[in-house]
Amino acid sequence: MLDPLTALSVAGTVVQLTDFSLKLASKVKEIFESADGVLIKNAEYETVAEDFGRLCARINPSSLEHSSGPPSKDDLMLQKLASDAESVSKELLALLRDLKGKEKESKLQSLGLVLKNVLKENQIESISKRLENIRSEINTNILIKISENADLISVRQSQLQTSLDDTTRMSLRRDIDLAKAEILDAIRLATWESTSTSWEKRSSDNMTSIDWKNSFKDYVLSSLRYQAMTERLDDIPEAHKSTLQWLYEPPPGLECRWDDLSVWLARGNGIYWVQGKAGSGKSCLMKYVHDQPQTAALLSKWAGVLPLVKAGFFFWYPGTLMQKSQNGLLRSILYQVLEKEPRLTPLAYEQIWQQYNGTGDKLLSLSRGELIRAVTRITTQQVFPLKPCLIIDGLDEYDGDHQEIVDLFETMTKSPTTKILVSSRPWLLFKNAFIRYPKLILQDLTREDIRRYAETILSSSSRMVELQKEEPLSANTLVGDIVEKSSGVFLWVKLVVRSLLSGLMNNDCIDDLNRRLEELPSDLERLYIFILKRIDPFYLKQAIRLFRIVCQSRRPLPTLAVSFANDFDPKQPITPENKVMSSLDTAKLCVQVEDRIQSQCLGLLECVVGGNRLPQPRRVQFMHRSVKEFFDKPGTWNELRSPLHDDESLYDAYQALSFSSLMQLKNVFASRNYGSWASAYRPFAALVRECMDYAAEA
């Protein structure tokens, strides 16, 4: 008697073969009945033959021999149905071969072939009826096998549960769950493969099977893509030269200070956790791992013969909603995986695939539940086995329930074919969740990296080169003091080195530089206060406006938007008489506000290259998340406003941002040719919504 799972697998393949052949028969009949007797193209025939061969290969005779005893009546019936389906389908394929035209046939030869085809219509009708009968009988056989399989699982579970220890019982339960998942995968495969070869659909617009799948893939990818998908990764600075070289090396000595990342990439499973305090360089490290060819080489060893899919996402709390949400994460991961493995698209969205009409006029509106189900399907399916490795940075920057995101990752990594490299601050929730996984603590491992960085940047100053020659021991001690005081926080080092470079430009000596270093607080938050107190009092009011605009904005703002908000005067009415500005005028405003930010905000705000569709090429944002967290504290604003006049209390950043949205609507869309209303609708609607939201907050 055949094992129920083996029998079910064979039955599923027979269903696919009969569905495939029925659709093919419909197409062949169409050609026979057409007025001009159009011949099938060689490329189309080859595609069909390839699909047919693949399905027939899956009806492996050896699988039908794997029985634990004499074949049952149902087993014999299944073998006969499989044989009949293959035989009838081969007969149909032979007819299709006759339809394949030759490129250099004469008109008379082609006409003769068409007349000959008319005589075969009765043969097509007979084949179709036989296929319908086979499909009806096999469906009954599948129902029987599913029932047998369910009964078998229940009986085996009941028999073994009392005699197995906990470990074996858990292993058995996983095997059963995997078997159930494989059954569902086989059913899904039968559904979408038979649909994907649907000649009835393709005949309506002459789309080939490949064209149809590509059209659906493009439709899904367009629905998943969003504007800021890669902005955060692009904004993270590259790791400084000669830093992070230790990352792919085994931990030195007998004391394992971290779990070997190379070993995990090449052979490990589950989750690897990069933890580090604020400003320690986690995002820089994660980008380094994401981009390094060595990562791909190690992961290829892990993947073996299976396709490797590497996908990354970098959370960014001060960014757009999509940059800090679960929806943004899931859409980005799905986009990357399906772009690399498009054959998974119908499996990820099987219901949408079945209803797809080939046009995709309206983009999909996907809920979080649908996105989670799609990600789960493609990471656990066994139809097209692959090895996904996800690189996820900044779990602490996720704007939602952090336990929820942890649970999602742990669910995904239950599959032995999926693993995730994650980074976060060492919050208690993450410590409890990831304590059993391999990890590294970043700030404990970067002393030499910080030393190299400080030496290299300071040595870029000719004055520092002179001091190194005059007082080499003191210069070396200065760098050592930077390393000690940093406590592994790279961001602190960056700000301190910037201050020292400023002193070197003023021709400071070593003693001056040491005094500067001593004055700088070792804590990031106190360092920010120290920097703010160094703002020229004449520019303090202007700097506070810029900080408040960026802090209360719902997204990283284009420089032009910051300029409009910065120029807002609550005492002046908004009048419709203002003329639309020229592109030259708007460019001048952008340059002016960038210069103000650089001179007045002392590096806490920065202008980065953006991917906006609007004319301005740069965005304004905080240099680090910890800066925004600092400004989010109410006490910060009270301390900054104390030396200012009372009229500053009249300034409302939300009013200014609402005004900025109006000015962008007026100037940007009036001066830019978007080609069509459809292309301008999204950015236009986004600005209108922003304008109303900011006005409601004011």
Q: For the segment 143-178, what is each residue's pLDDT rounded down to a tens digit?
A: 555 555 554 545 555 554 555 555 555 555 555 555
Domain end marker among 443, 461, 491 = 443
- Tokens 């899956």 identify what position? 58
507 DSSP assignment: T
Q: Pick the range with the lowest mean pLDDT from 249-263, 335-349, 444-458, 477-491.
A: 249-263
pLDDT for 385 equals 86
* 538 pLDDT higher than 80: yes
| Residue 529 included in any domain | no
Q: Is residue 192 domain-shared with residue 230, that is, in the same domain? A: no
Highest averaged pLDDT of the listed ranges 47-56, 57-66, 358-367: 358-367
528 lies in some domain: no
Of 85-94, 252-261, 556-565, 572-581, minimum mean pLDDT range: 572-581
Q: How far apart are CA 330 and CA 332, in angstroms?
A: 5
Same structural domain, 254 and 142: no
Bridge pairing between strands 308-314 and 439-441: unpaired
Q: Are residues 564 and 626 in the same domain?
A: yes
Greatest mean pLDDT among 137-146, 168-177, 467-476 lies in: 467-476
Position 193 scores a pLDDT of: 46
> Under a CB-based contact definition with an 8 Å cutoff, are residues 125 and 92 in contact?
no
Q: What is the CA radius of gyration of the chain?
A: 33
- Assess whether 603 and 693 both reside in one domain: yes
Instruction: State which residues form the domain around 238.
Output: 215-443
Structure tokens at 99: 């339809």
Are 472 and 608 contained in the same domain?
A: no
Q: Give the pLDDT of residue 553.
A: 93
Same domain, 357 and 499: no
How many structural domains comprise the chain? 4
CA gap 588, 41 in Å, rounded: 59
Instruction: Look at 94-98, 201-205, 345-349 and tell me which has the smallest mean pLDDT.
Output: 201-205
- Looking at 158, 176, 206, the residue that finishes a domain is 206
Q: How far apart are CA 568 and CA 135, in angstroms?
A: 72
Backbone phi and psi for residue 388, each to the nearest 5 degrees, phi listed first: -85, 135
Phi/psi class of residue 358: alpha, beta or left (left: φ > 0; alpha: ψ in -120 to 50)?
A: left
Q: Residues 45, 120: one domain?
A: yes
Continuous segment of H or E residues that includes residue 157: helix 121-161
- The structure's pTM equals 0.69
In this structure, the answer to whether residues 552 and 626 fall within a common structural domain is yes
Give the DSSP H or E segment for 369: helix 368-380
Residue after which a domain boundary falls, among 481, 499, 522: 522
Cβ of 242: how many Cβ atoms within 10 Å?
A: 12
pLDDT at position 585, please?
A: 86
Furthest-apart CA pair in the chain: how many Å?
103
Nearest CA to 87 out of 46, 130, 141, 136 is that of 130
Q: Are residues 436 and 453 in the same domain?
A: no
Q: What is the pLDDT of residue 279?
A: 94
**CA–CA distance, 148 with 558 (Å, rounded to integer):** 63
Closest C-alpha among 21, 15, 23 to residue 140: 15
Q: What percent of the chain has pLDDT over 70?
A: 66
Of 378 and 331, the one with more pLDDT: 331
What per-residue confidence (pLDDT) applies to 436? 94
pLDDT greater than 50 at residue 328: yes
CA–CA dist 490, 494 (Å, integer): 6
Q: Which two tokens stand for residue 566?
A: 């910065």
- Give the pLDDT confidence score for residue 689 in this predicted structure: 86
CATH of the domain at 389: 3.40.50.300
- Does any domain span residue 531? no
CA 196 – CA 189 distance, rounded (Å): 10
The answer to whether position 72 is within a domain reads: yes
Rounded CA-CA distance 115/172 in Å is: 62
Q: What is the mean pLDDT of residues 475-496?
A: 95
Note the pLDDT of residue 424: 97
One domain for residues 429 and 338:
yes
- Give the separation between CA 225 and CA 336, rounded to whole angstroms: 10
